[in-house]
Amino acid sequence: MPDATVAPPELKLRERNVLLLDLSKSMLAPLPDPQGTKGERQKIEVARTAVFRILQDAATTGTPFGLVTFTETVRVPVPLGEVHRENLPYIENLLALLQPSGRSAVWDAIAVGADLLRVGVQGVRGNLVLVTDGWDNASTRFGVRSEPNEPLKGGLTDLVPYVLPPNSELSLRIVGIGSGIERDRGVDAGSMNVLLDRLRTRAQELGLAGAFGFQEVTTGSQLFAQMVQAFLDVGYDDDRPLEEMHPEELAQHAASAARALKEPQQHATVSRLRAPRPPSPTTEVNYLESPDLEVGVLSAAGGAPAYLRERYGPLGEVIEAYLGGQYARALAVLGDAKAVLPPVTRLYWEARIQFAQRAVVEAARALLQAWSEAEKLPPGSQASVLRRLALLQARMQNDKETETLVRFIDDTEHRLGGTDPEARERLMDLLGRLMELRGTYQLTRLAGEGDLQDAALRHEAAVEDVFGRLQDARLQFSSAGPIVEGALDFIEICLAEMR
């Protein structure tokens, strides 16, 4: 149990994740996958695949991640902390060696997960995701009351106040495998819902922010999709990071991006983008109603990424076929995975594959539908998904300016994932403000002779404001590394071009 007396620096709820994975013997049972191409797969196999993916994302974004596994015994194979890319192979080997056996101490595991997220007097802060296919039949320390005043059996501690002390900011999402009619007994949905009800009641009583949800899955694809809500994309051949560019080349890119902001009529796609804003610490997402999509972009430089199918499930298989130039197969796999992929992901990939095989009309139709689906997404992932759609649209329309702008914003946000959260937040804020200069700039173009000076004055004041913030960012993050420096250089030149 961590030392609760020392409070680490405050971290945002969304930035601390602990996965609780059931390793009881029943996880060896197969899960059907009627719409998938693989037939039956063991629950543990699907869960491992999803964990690999989650680890990859954590290493990319720098988001602290912890893994708790449980049978009768609760273990912490990956303590809560930053996942470094170089350690991924070791962690993945370790996960591969974890073999299911025995029973399930579900409540004890939730308590250990909460301990990892405990921050002294600030309570338990972060996200817990529990993946289980069974019942609690082995906990020795914690229990959950069926009724509020019901006594707990011999010396057990009430789990609810333990995981939700005052000041906490916790989300618990339960992914329950099986419905009880499978060959192996499925998740105890009743007990899970009792736990969630009691957590909600306590959160309400204490006035705490939090989200508590339960989702039952019955197939391998559903399990993967629930563990990893995925919008996965793969970079284009000509992607190049800013810090590798010659300064004059960087300036040309920045000027090109600025043109996309300055000429909305010629670059209509830009108006569909949301200005990037750092996530608000109070923005919570109800997992049941509108789950956030994990948005990832893989680099395809040097060939297809390894273990696409193993790591990314059905979508990985689509991407593998796409990168191999097997567009018909990619479309077929995409069709088979229709039920388990978020609609926006499926439509985006349909558009991308169709565009690759020069079926422009079909590509445009699919992309149009993808835009509509993207509008329904929760704000947490919407901006990133919209940018990927915009990038594809810009390529389809051969609109280099928009492509450069979108690439810069997307690439910067993606690559800043592993850097200091404050630097990331400040840069995203600057990018948002840069995008908003479109408005004041347009007024200078539309204003008549009499109003021109007012419009120009307002625009120059807005530029001045962003430039002041840029200077402060330079001073604060002068040693933050080439990614931050490159992004600031780009914004500075963009600002100069906004005239």
Partner 1 sequence: MGDVKVTTRTKRSAGTKRESKSSGESARIAVVGIPASGKTTYFRFLSGHFGLNLPILYVPAREDGGNLPLYGDLDNDVALEETTYETTDPTDPEESLETTTRYYVNRPMEDRRKLWVELSAGREDQGILTKYPLPTKFNQFVEMKMHFRYGTPEDKNGSRAMELNTVDEAGGIIADYFSYDRLWIDSAEGEVTEKSCRVIPHFDSWRPDRRDLWRRGLTLLGRFVQEADAIILFLSPALASLRDQAQQINLARGVFRYTRARDLPLVIAISKADKLKEFYGEVDRSVRERTFRSQFDPVDFLLRRDGAGMGTILVAQEGRGISIKEDVFLVSSAVSTGEGHPLLVGEGGQEAPAIGTPTLGVPVMVNTTLPLARACERILAKRATKGS
Report the interface residues with partner 1, using CB under 8 A: 247-248, 251-252, 254-255, 444, 452-453, 456-457, 459-460, 463-464, 467-468, 471-472, 474-475, 478-479, 485, 488-489, 492-493, 495-497, 499
Q: How near is the Cβ of 402 to partner 1 at its closest, in Å?
A: 18
Q: How near is the Cβ of 481 to partner 1 at its closest, in Å?
A: 11
Cα 98 to Cα 28: distance, rounded to the nearest angstrom = 11
User: What single-letter DSSP state applies at residue 4?
Assistant: T
Cα 3 to Cα 112: distance, rounded to the nearest angstrom = 13
Cα 164 to Cα 170: distance, rounded to the nearest angstrom = 7
Does residue 129 contact residue 39 with C-beta atoms inside 8 Å? Answer: no
Rank residues 339 and 496 by Cβ distance to partner 1 and give the closer one: 496
Distance, C-alpha 24 to centroid of its chain: 28
- For residue 269, give both structure tokens: 């796609």
Q: Name residue 92's amino acid.
A: E
Cα 17 to Cα 470: distance, rounded to the nearest angstrom = 32
- For residue 67, give both structure tokens: 């893994």
Q: How near is the Cβ of 478 to partner 1 at its closest, in Å?
A: 4
CA dihedral 370, 374, 242, 493 (to 10 degrees): 110
Rank residues 69 and 256 by Cβ distance to partner 1 and give the closer one: 256
Q: How near is the Cβ of 137 to partner 1 at its closest, in Å?
A: 59
Q: How near is the Cβ of 452 to partner 1 at its closest, in Å?
A: 6
Rank residues 232 and 462 by Cβ distance to partner 1 and give the closer one: 462
- For residue 442, give both structure tokens: 């347009």
Rank residues 158 and 497 by Cβ distance to partner 1 and give the closer one: 497
Cα 155 to Cα 162: distance, rounded to the nearest angstrom = 14
Element (H, E) at 290: none
How do strand 125-132 and strand 209-217 relate by DSSP bridges? unpaired
Q: How near is the Cβ of 407 to partner 1 at its closest, in Å?
A: 18
Nearest-Å Rg of the Cα atoms of the chain is 24
Rank residues 12 and 459 by Cβ distance to partner 1 and give the closer one: 459
Rank residues 112 and 251 by Cβ distance to partner 1 and give the closer one: 251
Q: How near is the Cβ of 267 to partner 1 at its closest, in Å?
A: 19
Judged by DSSP in three states, 16 sits in coil
Give Dmax over CA atoms of the chain in angstroms: 84
Rank residues 244 and 464 by Cβ distance to partner 1 and give the closer one: 464
Rank residues 177 and 493 by Cβ distance to partner 1 and give the closer one: 493
Q: How near is the Cβ of 58 to partner 1 at its closest, in Å?
A: 30
DSSP 86-149: GGHHHHHHHHHH----S---HHHHHHHHHHHTB-GGG-BEEEEEEEESS-----SSEE--SSTT
Rank residues 367 and 427 by Cβ distance to partner 1 and give the closer one: 427
How do strand 125-132 and strand 17-22 relate by DSSP bridges? parallel
Q: How near is the Cβ of 479 to partner 1 at its closest, in Å?
A: 6
